[in-house]
Amino acid sequence: MTSERPQVIVVDAANVVGSRPDGWWRDRPGAARRLLTKLAVLQQRLQDTTDIVVILEGAARAAVTGPDAPDTGNLRVVLAPGSGDDTIAAVTAEAAAQPQSPEVTVVTADRGLRERTDPTGATAVGPRWLLDQLES
């Protein structure tokens, strides 16, 4: 992940969390908290020109409230008011339209969402790409 251009990584948190059958469905806010904690550590390792934007939807939105809320550091956390896919598509379009022309990467395995973000010039990658970054 080295580049001269600024980078924006847009994370479909529900899709990433759902890619591993680790019992996340029993505690969606807890699963989202664990992902946010790992992403905050990754953000610290990345270049200053890389932004990570995480979209939380549904019950997972509770991950950033209350005493168990993780320190998200420099992550930008967006709480989807409705459809997570709609919010991800809007955030991706907003990022791609920035004057600095950042490289935008959308982390999702959702084919329909990939089709919606392709016209922005964003690159779509699956959850495994992000999980590999988190584990390295």
Contact 78, 55 (CB under 8 A): yes
Task: Report the C-alpha gap between 12 and 6 in whole angstroms.
Answer: 20
Q: Which fold has domain 7-135?
A: Rossmann fold (3.40.50)
* Residue whose entry in the numeric block shows the structure tokens 């953000």: 43
pLDDT in tens, 2-30: 557 899 999 999 999 999 888 888 999 99
Residue 59, judged by CB atoms within 10 A of its CB (0-12, 13-18, 19+), counts as middle
Domain boundaries, the chain: 7-135
Phi, psi angle pair for 41, to nearest 5°: -65, -45
Please choose, from the candidates 45, 36, 24, 29, the residue with its C-alpha nearest in 3D space to the C-alpha of residue 71: 36
Residue-level pLDDT at 66:
87
- pLDDT above 70 for 1: no
Residue-level pLDDT at 78:
98
Task: Report the C-alpha gap between 134 and 112 in whole angstroms.
Answer: 25
